[in-house]
Chain A
Amino acid sequence: MASIFSVEGLKQRASGLFNRTKDWILSGRKLFHFDYYKELAHRYRQEMGVFSSVQLIAVVLVFLFFMVIPLFAVIGTAFSVNGVFDFLWFRLIFSDARFWPVNGCSPQPPIEITGDYLYIRGVNCGAIINSIYVGLATTLISTLIGVTLAFFMARYDFHGKSILRILILIPILSTPFVSAIAIQKIFGEFGMLNLLFHDILRIMPYRVIFEGLAAVILVQSLHFFSLVYLSTYAAFLAIDPSLEEQGENMGAKGFGLFRKVTLPLALPGIEAGAILTFILSVEDLGTLIVYESDAVVRRTITYQVYSLIFAPTGSINPIAPALSVILLLIAIIGFLFIRRYMSLRHYAMMSKGGTWNPRLHKPKWWQYIAIYGFIGVVLFLALLTPLGIIFLAFSTEWGITILPLNFPTVANFFQVFTDPLVLQSIFNSLFYSGVAVLFIVILATGTAYIVARKKLPGIGSLDLLVTIPIALPGIVIAMGYFLFFVRIPIFTTTILNPLVTAVPLLIMAFAVRKFPFTVRSTFAGLQQTNVEYEEAAENLGASRARVFAGIVIPLVAVSVLSGAMMSFVYCMSEVSVSLILGGVQPAEAPLTWKMADILSQVAAGSHHAAVLGLLLMIIQIIIITIVNVVLKSRTESMVGL
């Protein structure tokens, strides 16, 4: 298995792509024969039946209307001027210093020491390069941390491991949006860390300040390393221990064994996690909103697109769609890489069959120190976020002291929960997420069933259609809604026009965007369920609908449920679409919009926002605990792949 991180790997992949394209063109010839269609029609009738057909049509329609067409509206707008094909907007973008380094990058050094201040700020090369830079840096850091952590957890047996396993998941419980609020405070000029390690303990010779893109990278890395960890951990566990033993027999030991045998085998899993991190990092809007007072942070594609849409009137700067297309392109290229790996990984897993006991070592004393040292640091940083949120939520001031002032107090809770608009937004989010998950469950179960069980041409495309939302930046989808449902006359007076009401579109956006979590979880459940259970029922006379309801659903119920719960969690913490569509009418806005609103408006904004962040985290912790402990769920639903 060649890696995309090597020249050989890329070459191999390119020639693979070439051959597939050739085959595809050659096989295209049969499309001109009538018999091909006749046979195809017969096979569809045979395999699908009325029941699956209805499900299929419903799914395709939903995704067509609330994802594909809006995206094409964005692309169409990006490539045209007054309805005529034109690259104008792209030319404008690539000649504008805000987006492209036409005059070179900012001369400010990425790292600078002035007096006893250490500034870590990263580069500033225009929105496009900035976004990619943030994505790459976040991915690199998250991967280093996540893989090391996964290796320790998967291969060593040490005290406190079971507690660690749960603690490590905590970062993934919040959204970067909530983490950012806490991290901004903790890492601030006179924040907890500087006061503690610089002023008091004097371990750090400098006062460390994260600014610009570095601040974003910090927040995101502290969040996304747990994603890479999850996906890598699963990959390590899936490795056949006998392969490693064989390596040992041939003389490989210790780190050599890890590098030559273990790592290559786990690479698909690692790369999938890494690329997903890249995509999510590039499309993340929450962190940028928290740091929006920093001019360099605003200079990122996602933020630019966000600021170029004026939701209340639905007016969009004509450059925005073109910027969106660039964002979309970056994300989709990443996604297609993952897809190659996932299919390979599934194959590898199937060929093995059962599960085995992974190899666990008892660490030696010095390994103990390394493990505890590393995990200690990571955990400390990771737990700062929830700690910071708790401090903020229960205090009224936290700027120049290690511990917050007036701590603990419930004053914030009083103010926040007596605000009718806040209560409304909580209700809104619960309502939208609930309805969206209902849609998701109804459609995803059927879709996963079709993808897992029906062997028909076009199934691959269906799979792509329902899993690609994970790679689609929410902000681009939101823009698509404005371009499609506002500007097409037939929708203007309907409830699908976001200017009339944002509710249906918010729900559909949630449903489409968080669909993959449930569909992948269900799909994984189906793959582990023997087809013969269904055939036995069919053989005894059950209709397709009856097989689905009486056999399939009960057998994969746990997978569906855990996927649905994760979809719900991610709906509740959705940021991009919420911020844009929520801006039309505050009374309809979801929780995350209200948080952003509070952050920017109220004087004690971060304390109030932290209260809501805490609420969000508690909901997420409860649900993820249920999913993990009670339902013994799998990573598919957590990662959505």
Chain B
Amino acid sequence: MVTIDLKELTKRFGEVVACDDIDLHVEDGELFTLLGPSGCGKTTILRCIAGFYTPEEGQIFFDETNITRVPPNNRNTGMVFQNYAIWPHMKVFDNVAFGLKIRKIPKVTIRKKVEDILELVRLGGLAGRTPFQLSGGQQQRVALARALVIEPTVLLLDEPLSNLDAKLRLEMRHEIKRIQKEFGITTIYVTHDQEEALSISDRIAVMQLGKIMQVDSPREIYEEPHNLFVADFIGSCTFIPGTIKQTDSGKPVIETPWGLELKGRTTSKDVSLRKGEEVYVAIRPEDFKVRRPTEPFNVIPSTIESVVFTGRYYHVYADVGGTNSVNAELDPDTPIKIGDKKELHVNHSDAIILKIEDDPFASHIKQLLEGKAIAK
């Protein structure tokens, strides 16, 4: 199998820069996900790799081979389209056999291979069906089988589960992962669904506006967001504004506008904070706790504004400092009701300090917070 490298890849559509100076390395056999909101350029990258778009700048490598200008039919990629693109005028068998026929493989071998792959995607016995007789999930499997049967060097999946209902989606997630590992095939998986990305991927590239914001393992993407966009896009962080008060000993302290001090941490080593610098502190809902008396630091006095009991936790919005709201999931052991004054606590390792400087997304967060403040 192969590694995939994108070098300074840029693709424009008129004024729109659909993907902007992308550098990416995908390991051999890895399930690599492009994750981002709709329109951020995921499909564009995938189609550049498949050869349907020619980038304006940059190169694409499969191992050491530059394939940037190789036509799509000579790239030996297997692509699964968002709407599956199962040919309606062919039976399931002919759909799957198409790529093999083009490779002039003997009929007997084709029959064997098609049967095997249909078995693998759990469609054994359906070879004689027409596409109209298949459910969405089955069409999805045919598309996957059709792409895999040619033993492509890379597998490209464009939002393969977005047309399925929720239950089937969960099931197919496991299925795709299983098949991908079984083949050991280098795979690029496109989705806008963060949960899907986190659960299926070896590594994830989070994208926004044609740029890659962070590339990491799911766990790191979740726990170590490098910038405001990633923190905001993954999960639902609360952002608290503040200025740096102290920077020593790797445990920087920030002070919020209403005088609250919070100890936090940064997520990458090469971040250097200056005293007095403005930052945001990002905290995930599940990292808020009701304070226990033994905890002297990071105590956040708050007033509960709204509360929903979900069974596993209380989902609350609580006012802090009179101008900000936090979004927290609190332990259901002690009852909580609107108007309660609660002291919240957050571990210093769960308070992630993110720089505002040079982050284009900061203004967006600022607007968001201001909007909320005005609403109060």
Contacts and interface: CB of A to CB of B under 8 A. Distances in A.
Interface of A: 46, 530, 532-533, 535-544, 546, 550-551, 554-555
Contact of B72 (A530, A532, A538, A550): A538
5 contacts: A46-B54, A532-B81, A539-B72, A540-B102, A540-B146
A551 B87 contact: yes
B41 interface: no
Contacts of A530: 83, 85
A542 B73 CA distance: 6
4 closest A-B pairs (Cβ-Cβ)?
A540-B99, A532-B85, A536-B85, A554-B89
A542 to B, nearest CB: 5
Contacts of A546: 102
Contact of A539 (B54, B77, B88, B103): B77
A541 B79 contact: no
Given A532-B81, A546-B102, A539 B87 contact: no
Interface in B89-148: 89, 98-99, 102-103, 146-147
A329 B76 CA distance: 53
A532 B147 CA distance: 14
A535 B81 contact: yes
Nearest to B143: A536
A535 B99 CA distance: 12
Contacts of A542: 73, 98, 102
Nearest to A553: B89
A98 to B, nearest CB: 54
A532 B146 CA distance: 14
Contacts of A554: 89
A522 B54 CA distance: 28
B78 interface: yes
A541 B81 contact: no
Given A530-B83, A532-B81, A532-B83, A537 B88 contact: no
A533 B87 contact: yes
A535 B46 CA distance: 13
Q: Indicate the size class of the contact surface on chain B.
A: 20 to 34
Most buried by A among B78, B79, B83, B147: B79
B98 A539 contact: no
A231 to B, nearest CB: 29
B54 A535 contact: no
Interface in B57-84: 71-79, 81, 83
B258 interface: no
A531 to B, nearest CB: 9
Contact of B74 (A46, A532, A541): A541
Contacts of B54: 46
B83 A538 contact: no
A543 B76 CA distance: 13
B85 A541 contact: no
B102 A539 contact: no
B86 to A, nearest CB: 8
B89 A539 contact: no
Nearest to A39: B56
Given A541-B99, A544-B73, A555-B88, 11 more contacts: A535-B52, A536-B79, A536-B81, A537-B87, A539-B50, A539-B73, A539-B147, A540-B73, A540-B146, A540-B147, A541-B76
Interface in B204-248: none
Given A546-B102, A554-B89, A555-B88, A539 B83 contact: no
Interface of B: 50, 52, 54, 71-79, 81, 83, 85, 87-89, 98-99, 102-103, 146-147, 150
A540 B85 contact: no
A32 B49 CA distance: 33
A519 to B, nearest CB: 22
A555 B72 CA distance: 21
Contacts of A555: 87-89
A544 B71 CA distance: 10
A537 B98 contact: yes
B72 A535 contact: yes
Given A536-B79, A546-B102, A541 B87 contact: no
A12 B76 CA distance: 52
Given A46-B54, A530-B85, A551-B87, A539 B74 contact: no
A607 B308 CA distance: 89
B16 to A, nearest CB: 15
B150 A533 contact: no
B80 to A, nearest CB: 9
Nearest to A539: B79
A43 to B, nearest CB: 8
A533 B84 CA distance: 9
Most buried by B among A535, A536, A539, A544: A539
Contacts of A541: 73-74, 76, 99, 102-103, 150
B81 A538 contact: no
Nearest to B81: A532
A551 B94 CA distance: 12
Contacts of B79: 535-536, 539
Contacts of B75: 539
Nearest to B90: A554
Given A46-B54, A546-B102, A538 B73 contact: yes
Contacts of B147: 539-540
A533 B98 contact: no
A551 B85 CA distance: 11
A459 to B, nearest CB: 16
B89 A540 contact: no
A126 B90 CA distance: 62
A530 B85 CA distance: 8
A540 B150 contact: yes
A145 to B, nearest CB: 40
Contacts of A536: 79, 81, 85, 87, 146
Nearest to A537: B98
Contacts of A544: 73
Nearest to B89: A554
A61 to B, nearest CB: 27
Contacts of B102: 540-542, 546
B155 to A, nearest CB: 11
Contacts of B76: 541
Contacts of A532: 81, 83, 85
A544 B72 CA distance: 10
B45 to A, nearest CB: 15
Nearest to B150: A540
A542 B54 CA distance: 18
B22 to A, nearest CB: 21
B73 A543 contact: yes
A100 to B, nearest CB: 50
Contacts of A540: 73, 78, 98-99, 102, 146-147, 150
B53 to A, nearest CB: 10
A216 B156 CA distance: 64
Contacts of A46: 54, 71
A46 B54 CA distance: 9
B298 to A, nearest CB: 52
A541 B150 CA distance: 9
A278 B81 CA distance: 46
B85 A533 contact: yes
A533 B146 CA distance: 13
A542 B81 CA distance: 16
Nearest to A544: B73
A533 B95 CA distance: 11
A46 B89 CA distance: 28
Most buried by B among A46, A532, A540, A541: A540
B59 to A, nearest CB: 16
Nearest to A43: B54
